[in-house]
A and B are shown apart, each in its own frame.
Chain A
Amino acid sequence: MIASILAQGTDWIRPHADWHALAPEIVLVVGINLVLLIDLWLDDAKKWMMATLTGFVLLAAFIPVVTLAVIGDDVRSMFFDRYVVDEYALILKAMFLLIGYVVVLISQNELEEGGYYQGEFYLMLLVSVLGMVMMTSSRDLVSIFVALELLSIPAYMMAAWRKRDTKSNEAGVKYYLLGVFASGVLLYGMSYLYGTTGTTKLTEIGAALAEADAGPGLIAMQVVAVAFIIVGFGFKVSAVPFHTWAPDTYEGAPLPVTAFLSVASKAAGFVGLVTMLYVAMFAADGVYQPFLWILAALTMSVGNVLALRQTNIVRMLAYSSVSQGGFILMPLAVLATGDAAESALKSVVIYLLIYAFSNLGAFAVILAVSRKTRSGEISSFGGLMSYAPGMGLLMTLFLASLAGIPPFGIWIAKLQAFKTVLDAGGTAAYTLAVIAAVNTVIAAAYYMKVLREMWMKPAPDGDTTPINTPQPIWAALTICAAGTVVLGILPGLVLRFADLQDLTGALGGG
């Protein structure tokens, strides 16, 4: 019996596995098991050690990413090109690991003081980060789907982490239902894509679609597939009109989780979308370009208008993050026009990176301030400059970056997005650029609202006792501030990693 099975297996080729390239994932998996096991034997008083351990795991996973980046820029592909570690994947892996680390730093005190489950939380966080790290390398429908679920399912639970708090429940349930629904729609699209091209490998799908596009044109099922896939990712990146879960989830979830969701989970959605668009669906530009155009225009406008009337700062940032998503989508709407592809890729990557730093930073400040004020209202930021100037300065930096004011961070990403769209040319592109320009000014208005509160209004109730900010939050703030400033002034540091050749050329797709 066994012999016959083995005999059948002789034509089985052992897939090539590059252990160095897989090291970040392996370290994370080992770390996950360590956290799971150690948590079992640790008594409650020592649970704080889990945060340190998780931090070490994330940093340890960071090391191979660095060595891979230093060693060279060759594309390491495994499992018959289904799992690829290129520069695009590396820079995003680095980003996700760093986000994970910052989230550990800012959750530590919140979890300890709130008396929440700690070991389990960090376990979920690590699993979710693992999913994201996998997402950057996945070049197959199955692995993209698995990565997406791996990063989402723990995130659903994290959103509902305050299990006695009905708001947190609501946040988790809404996020869960819409997330799973989106996965279903995405999967349905993927199944059509698989059915009509006969493969789950993205490069082959790309080739098949390109062939169909060049010849008889896409068949209806392929059009539906592309549309469904964009809708599926649209939920993940909270693009309007699929954004309805975002504000409620962000407001209800514990703040560190909100920070994590608004940055990492969203970025992972974009990574999946970008990989699908560039490698698999590039030829279907007739379908996705107009679709993404509408999504981008709606997302930035609606997000902004709703952000304008918020009085709760977390909710405001939630809508602002929706609107920022529109800006990230913008260059993708002209993806296949002319030679915009490379410029668009750079735009998305740099935007995701700087946005991650700035938004995480803003959330870290909110977390630090709310430890004192116990409030999420914008008015609770009154007089921040008078009693916590350092914190105020950092918040100014992060919000100025989000508003796109040079030389802080996001301006360069916005500029790159504008440049891409204008470079592509055409009435549609110009219109989109104008919409984006108007939105930039509108966005400035609500970020300024917070700045005005901090700088020019007195503290509510005249309470100007200084805030007591724990060390880990300061560390997180330092990382975010450094990222925001450095990337704003020297974006070249990371932009070279967004290499189009690596993503599509080496694989024969595109």
Chain B
Amino acid sequence: MYAVNFLLLSAALFSIGVFGVIARRNAVMVLMSIELILNSVNLNLVAFALINKDIDGHIFALFVIAVAAAEVGVGLGMVLMIYRNRRSIALDELSEMHG
């Protein structure tokens, strides 16, 4: 069935996103990876809504999109903040505290 393709694509996007979060050091790249994860979720929801033939999935996806926008807003704000304080957005330099 063609719906499987959506799910496979979404799983691939999710995996790429998780890999990006784990492997990337650049804060903006990590943010983008998180966006990938959220979009894979959206793809899932919409595909399932099609399969299940109801509207809940679409609505859920809209909520996810709205919240993701808010999240990225906050995220970019934070990236800007650390850039101002340290002139760098490399995450592995954020290690003042450990133990």
Contact of B8 with A by CB under 8 A: no
Stretch in contact with the other chain, from A6-14, A49-57, A185-193, A276-284: A185-193
Inside 8 A of B21's CB, which chain A residues have their CB? 177, 181
Q: Bound state CA distance, A104 and B41, in angstroms? A: 36
Contact with A along B62-83 (1 / 0, CB 8 A): 0110010011001101110110
Contact across chains for B78 and A195 when beta carbons are under 8 A apart: no
Stretch in contact with the other chain, from A27-35, A138-146, A416-424: A138-146
A contact patch SS: helix
User: A166-B86, A247-B97 are contacts. A194–B59 as well, Cβ < 8 Å?
Assistant: no
Inside 8 A of B12's CB, which chain A residues have their CB? none
- Find A169's partner among B59, B64, B67, B85 (CB 8 Å cutoff): B85
Contact across chains for B81 and A163 when beta carbons are under 8 A apart: yes
User: A173-B27, A177-B30, A181-B21 are contacts. A248–B74 as well, Cβ < 8 Å?
Assistant: no
Counting contact residues on chain B (CB < 8 A from A), the size range is 35 or more
Inside 8 A of A153's CB, which chain B residues have their CB? 70-71, 74
Contact across chains for B78 and A184 when beta carbons are under 8 A apart: no
Inside 8 A of B30's CB, which chain A residues have their CB? 177
- Find A194's partner among B48, B91, B95 (CB 8 Å cutoff): B48
Contact of A361 with B by CB under 8 A: no
Taking CB atoms and an 8 Å cut-off, the chain B residues in 14-53 that contact chain A are 14, 17-18, 21, 27, 30, 34, 37-38, 40-41, 44-45, 47-48, 51-52
Contact across chains for B60 and A141 when beta carbons are under 8 A apart: yes
Inside 8 A of B52's CB, which chain A residues have their CB? 195, 198
Q: Bound state CA distance, A315 and B94, in angstroms? A: 17
Closest to A166 in B: B85
Contact across chains for B74 and A176 when beta carbons are under 8 A apart: yes
User: A181-B37, A188-B41, A191-B41 are contacts. A199–B56 as well, Cβ < 8 Å?
Assistant: yes
A145 to chain B, nearest CB (A): 7
Q: Bound state CA distance, A384 and B30, in angstroms? A: 45
A150 to chain B, nearest CB (A): 9
Contact across chains for A180 and B94 when beta carbons are under 8 A apart: no
Q: Bound state CA distance, A146 and B34, in angstroms? A: 17
Inside 8 A of A149's CB, which chain B residues have their CB? 67, 70-71
Q: Bound state CA distance, A174 and B51, in angstroms? A: 37
B48 to chain A, nearest CB (A): 3
User: A141-B60, A184-B41, A198-B52 are contacts. A170–B74 as well, Cβ < 8 Å?
Assistant: no
Contact across chains for B37 and A184 when beta carbons are under 8 A apart: yes
Contact across chains for A191 and B48 when beta carbons are under 8 A apart: yes
Q: Bound state CA distance, A248 and B94, in angstroms? A: 10
Contact of A310 with B by CB under 8 A: yes
Closest to A174 in B: B94
Contact across chains for A169 and B34 when beta carbons are under 8 A apart: no
Contact across chains for A145 and B99 when beta carbons are under 8 A apart: no
Contact of A480 with B by CB under 8 A: no
User: A181-B21, A184-B37, A188-B40 are contacts. A142–B48 as well, Cβ < 8 Å?
Assistant: no
Contact of A374 with B by CB under 8 A: no
A310 to chain B, nearest CB (A): 7
Inside 8 A of B95's CB, which chain A residues have their CB? 170
B4 to chain A, nearest CB (A): 11
Inside 8 A of B79's CB, which chain A residues have their CB? 173
Inside 8 A of A156's CB, which chain B residues have their CB? 74, 78
Contact of A251 with B by CB under 8 A: yes
Known: A173-B82, A195-B44, A195-B47. 15 other contacts (CB 8 A): A142-B56, A166-B85, A173-B78, A174-B94, A177-B27, A183-B71, A184-B14, A184-B37, A184-B38, A187-B64, A190-B41, A191-B45, A195-B51, A198-B54, A247-B99
30 contacts between A and B (CB under 8 A): A145-B64, A145-B67, A146-B67, A149-B71, A156-B78, A166-B96, A167-B96, A169-B78, A170-B94, A172-B78, A173-B78, A174-B94, A176-B78, A181-B37, A184-B14, A184-B34, A184-B38, A184-B41, A185-B18, A187-B38, A187-B64, A191-B41, A191-B45, A194-B48, A194-B57, A195-B52, A195-B57, A198-B54, A200-B56, A252-B96
Q: Which 10 A-B pairs have the closest CB atoms?
A: A195-B48, A184-B37, A191-B44, A187-B41, A198-B52, A170-B94, A149-B67, A248-B97, A169-B82, A200-B56
